[in-house]
Structure 1
Amino acid sequence: MTAARTGLPPVDLTARLGLVRAVAAAYTMKHAQNVVVGDISGRNVLYDTDPRHWWSMWTVSG
């Protein structure tokens, strides 16, 4: 499915690769803690194309 069909703005290659790295890092952390994830389909992954927000996506406050 293309960005035009979903109504999302286009994302350049650099941002896409950054998102892939961030998602891979998150799953690496989960794997290290023996967390099982059932479905990692791209349709089920939430993302933000602004790299300033990426770290906050993987941290839990409280």
Structure 2
Amino acid sequence: MDLIGVCQGFVAGASRLVPKLRGREFTESQLALVTRQVEKARVTADWIETAVSTGRVEPG
């Protein structure tokens, strides 16, 4: 249940925040940082999916 809550919290937070980015310009360094963090989120989501479907909990 904790895992479901974490996922729901992430989705809810993103749903509130992303629309506020309309018209916002990012510096090159900000864009690079956001890109790295989104990739970490994507890898973590894949890890969660693998752990749930296979029982393997080792990262990557």
**TM-score (ref. length: structure 1):** 0.41
Q: Higher helix share goes to which structure?
A: 2
| Greater relative CO, 1 or 2 (CA 8 Å, sep 6+) | 1
**TM-score (ref. length: structure 2):** 0.42
Select the structure of larger CA radius of gyration.
2
